[in-house]
Amino acid sequence: MPRILVLDDEPLISMLVEDWLTDLGCEVVGPVRSVAEGLRFAGEMPLDGAILDVHLAGQNSFSVATELEKRGIPFAFATGDAGVAPEAGFKDPILLPKPFNFNGVKAVLDRMLAARQRGNA
């Protein structure tokens, strides 16, 4: 069962994503609500992927994404913006556009798990 971290500071959104991930056969880690908590989970927990809201109460989730990259754990940025600016330093990030829907979450999950498989091959 894939273990997926959900980092989002909006409880209703994270509950919706959590339900969809559960329906897709995943174990949800979190959801976590802050960058500090996300860093702790990203650095310590066994994970197969993560969905990270870009904007969290005046901060961004880039430091969490960087920690996940160090560990070889794929992630998707959840954003209502056009994407993640190239100067953020993430080459071709997986994006989950808002507003979310089940098929979007499934597509992102499939990409993360495929990336995880390639990384472990």
User: Which CATH number applies to 3-120?
Assistant: 3.40.50.2300
- Tokens of residue 94, six digits: 């997986």
Token reading at 26: 């995943």
Taking the model in full, what pTM does it have? 0.94
The residue whose two tokens read 């990203």 is: 42
One digit per residue, the tens of pLDDT, for the chain of length 121 reads 999 999 999 999 999 999 999 999 999 998 999 999 999 999 999 999 999 999 998 899 999 999 999 999 999 999 887 678 777 888 889 999 989 899 999 999 999 999 888 876 4
* Per-domain boundaries in the chain: 3-120
First-to-last C-alpha distance (Å) of the chain: 18
For residues 21 and 6, the answer to whether their CB atoms sit within 8 Å is yes
Rg of the Cα atoms in the chain: 13
